[in-house]
């Protein structure tokens, strides 16, 4: 019997399009559910007033800006998350939102909701500095800590005028870490060799293909200690504490919100509702103010970008590249 190959090819193409359509449909549902669900939860957290109603959301008139810093902090643009990954906070994106709110005459105060374990030291510093510039506009910055506001998350919080935390919030972790992985023994076992040609002695410092020298360890330790000193200095400045007082707390340990209050690392117990009301009061606004959520995302953008990447093969390359970086590349210095 003769096989109609052209007919089979057409059927396969049709099946492929059906599968792609199904994936896109399911992805859209999951993404919309995740994004809308998180926004509803955010409004519930931020919005229940003492009268039982919701704060209203607005982009005009006098209002309190609300900025979310969620997930790992890093340089560059924020990651939207959705069904393909976790939400992250990129300093470029966050700083841009802060700067826009600073020049908006209708935004009278800013509440920063932090739910982050930390991340890039440089990214945290950039956001910290942007909040200080916002305060120069004579607009208050109120911090609201979620489940976790630690290390780089606390670094950013230290820029606030007032910090709210829940009793069970995990915060603190005032420290710096620089992690390296060595693959020398693995390479020997699989018969691989690495040849490095460099212009100066320390150009390949931190290489995973050879043992670290004691001199290199001291160099990297010096960098970590220097950034840790910067961290302590910024916390002391933001909290109105002595360097020595902060140094005693800056051994990397976590504190609950209640413990942090006792150590003067936070100011008040309370959640988003209390933070918003306090921000309004500080800005001379009435209770239950209008809110403007600074993250204005299109919930379908990341979905369409991902669908496009699936079709073009870019996504597979990105996954492979990310895996390779995770395994082989030395990470940056992190405040977490």
Instruction: Name the token pair of 284.
Output: 């001379």
Q: What are phi and psi of 5, to 5 degrees?
A: -65, -35
Return left, alpha or beta for 183; rule: phi > 0 is left, psi -120 to 50 is alpha, else beta: alpha
Q: Which helix (H) or strand (E) holds 158?
A: none
The answer to whether 106 and 61 have CB atoms below 8 angstroms apart is yes
DSSP H helices, the chain, are: 5-47, 91-103, 121-135, 152-157, 184-190, 214-239, 243-249, 257-262, 272-282, 301-312, 314-328
The answer to whether 117 and 149 have CB atoms below 8 angstroms apart is no
Q: Considering only CA atoms, which of 164, 111, 171 is closest in space to residue 147?
A: 171
> Which is catalytic among the residues 10, 44, 203, 318?
203
> Which is catalytic among the residues 78, 91, 124, 151?
151
- Please tell me the distance from the alpha carbon of residue 130 to that of residue 93, in angstroms, as a whole number: 11
* Residue 150 burial (10 A CB sphere; 0-12, 13-18, 19+): buried
Q: Is 203 a catalytic residue?
A: yes
- Please tell me the distance from the alpha carbon of residue 180 to that of residue 334, in angstroms, as a whole number: 12
Instruction: Name the token pair of 256.
Output: 């609950």
Q: Angle between the 91-103 and 121-135 helix axes, to the nearest 10 degrees?
A: 0
The answer to whether 151 and 121 have CB atoms below 8 angstroms apart is no
Q: Which helix (H) or strand (E) holds 222?
A: helix 214-239
Q: What are phi and psi of 127, to 5 degrees?
A: -70, -40
Per-residue DSSP letters for 54-80? BPPB-SSSSEEEEEEEES-EESSSPP-
The answer to whether 38 and 86 have CB atoms below 8 angstroms apart is no
Q: What are the catalytic residues?
A: 151, 203
């Amino acid at each position: 019997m003769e096989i109609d190959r052209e007919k089979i090819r057409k059927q396969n193409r049709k099946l492929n399009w059906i599968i792609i359509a199904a994936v896109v449909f399911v992805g859209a549902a999951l993404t919309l559910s995740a994004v809308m669900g998180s926004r509803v939860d955010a409004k519930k957290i931020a919005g229940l007033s003492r009268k039982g109603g919701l704060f209203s959301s607005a982009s005009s008139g006098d209002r309190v800006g609300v900025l979310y810093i969620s997930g790992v902090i890093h340089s560059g643009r924020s990651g939207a998350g959705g069904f393909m990954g976790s939400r992250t906070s990129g300093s470029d994106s966050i700083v841009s939102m802060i700067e826009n709110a600073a020049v908006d005459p209708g935004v009278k105060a800013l509440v920063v909701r932090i739910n982050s374990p930390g991340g890039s030291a440089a990214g945290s510093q950039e956001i910290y500095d942007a909040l200080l510039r916002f305060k120069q506009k004579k607009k208050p910055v109120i911090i609201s800590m979620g489940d976790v506001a630690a290390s780089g998350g606390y670094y950013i919080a230290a820029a606030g005028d007032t910090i709210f935390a829940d009793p069970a919030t995990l915060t603190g972790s005032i420290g710096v870490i620089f992690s390296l992985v060595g693959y020398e023994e693995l390479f020997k076992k699989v018969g691989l060799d690495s040849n490095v040609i460099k212009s100066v002695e320390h150009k390949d410092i931190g290489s995973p293909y050879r043992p670290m020298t004691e001199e290199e360890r001291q160099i990297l330790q010096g960098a970590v200690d220097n950034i840790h000193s910067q961290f302590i200095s910024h916390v002391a400045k933001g909290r109105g504490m002595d360097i020595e007082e902060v140094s005693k707390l800056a051994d990397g340990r976590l504190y609950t919100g209640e413990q942090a209050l006792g150590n003067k690392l936070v100011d008040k117990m309370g959640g988003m509702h209390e933070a918003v009301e306090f921000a309004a009061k500080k800005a001379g606004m009435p209770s239950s103010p209008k809110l403007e959520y600074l993250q204005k995302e299109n919930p379908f953008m990341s979905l369409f970008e991902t669908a496009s990447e699936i079709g073009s093969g870019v996504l597979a390359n990105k996954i492979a590249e990310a895996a390779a970086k995770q395994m082989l590349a030395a990470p940056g210095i992190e405040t977490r």
